[in-house]
Chains A and B, each alone.
Chain A
């Protein structure tokens, strides 16, 4: 069962903030986030493990609510380079190996 992402698309001006959500119907061990530019491969941003702390990467951070099986990606003070499609991947346990992905959230940052 793949995770559900929301919203499907976001359009921002430079400097604005955005939140992308990812929810699963299954108990999760980890959630990982990737960004994909058009025509390129997805690139890893960060991973959140069950029992772990909120992660941050420059102005991009994420949280993981294990009880609700939800994760959120926070992009603050958006830059043009943040444009792309963001995917969350989920793992039900450390040994499953079957990471499943949401359908993505397309973020467009305009000048």
Chain B
């Protein structure tokens, strides 16, 4: 049982380049999330998807776009990367139908923007 799988694990970009972080979960969860974590800081919600076909902005959505491709997959796109987007990105999923929003996180994707 893989849980939440993120790719790539590491990526270095130059300012202005674009890239997509991929996330897939095999737990049949309806909700998926993208967080970023800066050094020594907590997790900041970028976007989330309550269910297939819906997405909503979180605390720090500027500079990002998302796609909920199907129930399993939720991708995060940086259209024009900036050094301020250097961070570790975590995808997570949960089954909010239970009434308890317990998050299962992926291993993280470390992004450096030069």
Q: Which residues of A are in contact with B by a Cβ distance under 8 Å?
A: 2, 30, 32, 34, 40-44, 47, 49, 87, 89, 91, 94-95, 97-104
The interface size of chain B toward A, counting residues with CB under 8 Å, comes to 26
A47: chain B residues at CB < 8 Å are 100-102
- A53 and B97 CA atoms in complex are apart in Å by 20
Q: Which residue of B lies closest to A48 (CB)?
A: B100
CB distance from A14 to the nearest CB of B (A): 25
Q: Which residues of B are in contact with A by a Cβ distance under 8 Å?
A: 31, 33, 35, 40-45, 48, 50, 56, 58-59, 90, 96, 99-108
**A41-B105 contact given A97-B48, A100-B45, CB 8 Å threshold:** yes
B33: chain A residues at CB < 8 Å are 99
**Are A2 and B99 touching (Cβ within 8 A)?**
no
- A100 and B112 CA atoms in complex are apart in Å by 24
CB distance from A3 to the nearest CB of B (A): 9
- A95 and B106 CA atoms in complex are apart in Å by 23
**Are B42 and A97 touching (Cβ within 8 A)?**
no
Q: Within the complex, which residue of A2, A32, A94, A103 is in contact with B103, where a contact is CB–CB below 8 Å?
A: A32
